[in-house]
Amino acid sequence: MRLQQVDLNLLVILDALLRERHVTRAAERLHMSQPATSTALSRLRKVLGDELLVKSGRELRLTPRAESLIDPVREVLATIEQSIVRPPTFDPSRDQRTFSVSASDYVGVTLIRPLLGRLSHLAAGLRIDLAPLSERYLVALQRDEVDLAFLPDRLVEAVSLPDCSRMPVIHDRFVGAVWSQHPAAGGRLTAEVLSGHPYLQFGTLEGTRGLVEADLDEAGFSRRVEAMSMNFVSMPFMLAGTDLVTLVPESLGRRVAHAADIVLLEPDFPLEPLRQSVYWHSRRDRDPGHRWLREQLLTVADAATATG
């Protein structure tokens, strides 16, 4: 293989194929037709001397050669994007830019929504593509596949992200929540309230308990779980008309208390606060557009903290 045989367009298509592991999805990501993407895959196979994607039942899997190319191809394209393609300056009033963001529904309500409101007055050409956190969020961050990812600090403390930068954006606390007509409404969240009423538990993508649930278990608080949700925002709205009790981030609870017809209960025991940071690949540190967006996010986060 000679370097002259590989053009930038082929590398972009190869990157999409390695990410999606599916020709049609890669075509959709690239805004190309499926036949054109298949033709490009054939060229790549010939140039690289490898099948790259092979059938495994009804799915496609990457060959060992393709697996070994994931990081080098992403590195090359990211370097070209940051050093050559990306303009050296950013003018929010004129420039067009799309940022990919991974965040929970809770972050979407507490930070992304006010951020969008702020951006609508400052940067008409800027677009935010928001997606939920996937199970491979760490890989996406380390491979620079997402511009910003919002993660609980305690979730990241146990892993290493040497190639990523971070900025704290959320410091919240957990409080109890019940329907406004609940027998415990107007009181405090005690161990007796937790154990004496059916409990709405927060779960994670992996089907495990959330961090606050693990804290309650470690402290020895018993609960009778009758429902579970992986969506923080929906939890307050699941309480009306029931005897359920749950825990929610206070900032979220205050925002939706009236609409959800709930009241918040002050915990009678200490709970670990909810701290979240936004993470990005360090190669974006000096990207002027990315830096501008982080500045706007920090302004929104400071305002949210002050209001809370």
Any idea what the CATH number is for the domain that residue 107 is in?
Answer: 3.40.190.10
Give pLDDT tens digits for 171-216: 999 999 999 999 999 899 999 999 999 999 987 655 566 778 888 8
Tokens found for residue 44: 């790549």
For residue 92, being part of any structural domain is answered with no
Same domain, residue pair 30 and 53: yes
Q: 91 versus 205: which is more confidently predicted?
A: 91
pLDDT confidence of residue 137: 77
Same domain, residue pair 162 and 117: yes
Q: Averaged over 65-81, what is the pLDDT?
A: 86
Q: Averaged over 274-295, what is the pLDDT?
A: 93
For residue 90, being part of any structural domain is answered with no
**Run of H or E including 255:** helix 250-260
Domain boundary among 45, 62, 85: 85
User: In which domain, by residue range, is 65 found?
Assistant: 3-85
Q: Is the pLDDT of residue 158 over 80?
A: no
Same domain, residue pair 141 and 287: yes
Same domain, residue pair 151 and 283: yes
- Mean predicted lDDT score pLDDT of the chain: 88
**Run of H or E including 264:** strand 262-267
- Range scoring the smallest mean pLDDT among 25-39, 98-112, 133-147, 258-272: 133-147
For residue 91, being part of any structural domain is answered with no
For residue 226, being part of any structural domain is answered with yes
Smallest CA-to-CA distance from 113 within 305, 300, 308, 302 is with 300
- Range scoring the smallest mean pLDDT among 1-5, 136-140, 141-145, 286-290: 1-5
Domain count, the chain: 3
Same domain, residue pair 287 and 255: no
- CA-based R_g, the chain, Å: 23
Which residue is listed with tokens 């089907």?
A: 207
Domain boundary among 50, 85, 120: 85
Q: Is the pLDDT of residue 94 over 70?
A: yes
Range with top average pLDDT, 57-61, 129-133, 185-189: 185-189
Same domain, residue pair 231 and 155: no
Same domain, residue pair 202 and 224: yes
**CATH of residue 68:** 1.10.10.10
pLDDT over 90 percentage in the chain: 52
pTM of the model: 0.78
CB 102 within 8 A of CB 133: yes
Same domain, residue pair 155 and 191: no
Tokens found for residue 118: 């702020």
Same domain, residue pair 266 and 281: no
Compute the distance between CA of residue 292 and CA of residue 286 in angstroms, rounded to an integer. Answer: 10
For residue 47, being part of any structural domain is answered with yes
pLDDT band (50, 70, 90) for residue 36: very high
Same domain, residue pair 127 and 241: no
Q: Is the pLDDT of residue 254 over 70?
A: yes
Same domain, residue pair 135 and 206: no
Domain boundary among 63, 85, 107: 85
Q: Which residues contact 92 (CB under 8 A, 6 or more apart)?
A: 122, 123, 125, 126, 292
Give pLDDT tens digits for 286-300: 899 999 999 999 999
Q: Is the pLDDT of residue 238 over 60?
A: yes
For residue 290, being part of any structural domain is answered with yes
Q: 147 versus 205: which is more confidently predicted?
A: 147
268 vs 124, 220, 295, CA distance in Å? 47, 14, 37
For residue 145, being part of any structural domain is answered with yes
Same domain, residue pair 55 and 75: yes
